[in-house]
């Protein structure tokens, strides 16, 4: 049996880019918004909006929506997927965040934000079209299983005549957002509040190439 690798005894310094970025924040934005940080530290966070976005480094919700600290409660995962309500003994990060946002923070809006050229969606389509392609999804224990959440969306979206993988994947990214919103409604707390008009659900998709945001 392979012995675990011991943890390093001395922490490595942060990458230079992060240090420089923090210095820019400390000298620029922090002084301008210092009072807001003081108020949030005292009163806690009170965001009205939860955003479920992809963890792709090109699509930061805080940047895209030009948000101030404390305005958005953000959850990011591969391909901005929402699993259906499944109260079992599993570890459900997205579901836990949803529960906290809705029941504790009492957000008024949940936005599922996808994006064009999503690597997760395109890899899923590649595997769908080429089942024997072992490189379609990253080898490992988690990504392939996670991406099965998109299967209901794919099953409800037949391909069109002459459509290539790229175009189908771009359509599937949109359809997957709708599927995630349907999964949101399987959570009782969300379904009840949405039915009472106290919680709005939204879908949108960001075009990495043009910077255009399209609401669905």
Q: What pLDDT, in 10s, does the model give residues 54-89?
A: 999 999 999 999 999 999 999 999 999 999 999 998
- Amino acid 126: pLDDT: 92
CB 189 within 8 A of CB 151: no
112 DSSP β-pair partners: 52, 203
215 DSSP β-pair partners: 204
107-160 confidence digits (pLDDT tens): 999 999 999 999 999 999 999 988 887 667 777 889 989 999 999 999 999 999
- DSSP 8-state symbol, 73: E
- Amino acid 117: pLDDT: 97
Taking the CA atoms of 136, 140, 145 and 150 in sequence, report the sign of the dihedral they define: negative
CATH fold label, 45-215: Beta-carbonic Anhydrase; Chain A (3.40.1050)
pTM of the model: 0.92
- Amino acid 137: pLDDT: 78
- Amino acid 7: pLDDT: 65
**Which residue in 111, 140, 129, 138 sits closest to 205, CA to CA?**
111
Strands (E), 37-155: 49-54, 72-77, 109-115
- Amino acid 141: pLDDT: 84
For residue 103, is pLDDT > 70? yes
């Amino acid at each position: 049996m392979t012995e675990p690798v011991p943890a390093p005894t001395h922490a490595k310094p942060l990458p230079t880019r992060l240090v420089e970025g923090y210095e820019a924040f400390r000298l620029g934005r922090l002084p301008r918004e210092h009072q807001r940080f003081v108020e949030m530290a005292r009163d806690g966070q009170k965001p009205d909006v939860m955003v479920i976005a992809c963890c792709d480094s090109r699509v930061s919700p805080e940047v895209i929506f030009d948000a101030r600290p404390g305005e958005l409660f953000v959850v990011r995962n591969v391909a901005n997927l929402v699993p259906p309500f499944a109260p079992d003994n599993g570890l459900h990060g997205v579901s836990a965040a949803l529960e906290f946002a809705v029941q504790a923070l009492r957000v008024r809006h949940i936005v599922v934000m996808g994006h064009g050229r999503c690597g997760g969606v395109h890899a899923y389509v590649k595997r769908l079209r080429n089942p024997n392609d072992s490189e379609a999804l990253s080898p490992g224990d988690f990504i392939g299983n996670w991406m099965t959440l998109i299967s209901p969306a794919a099953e409800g979206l037949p391909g069109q005549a002459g459509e290539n993988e790229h175009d189908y994947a771009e359509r599937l990214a949109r359809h997957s957002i709708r599927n995630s919103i349907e999964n949101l409604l399987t959570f009782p707390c969300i379904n009840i509040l949405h039915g009472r008009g106290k919680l709005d659900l939204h879908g949108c998709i960001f075009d990495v190439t043009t910077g255009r945001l399209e609401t669905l």
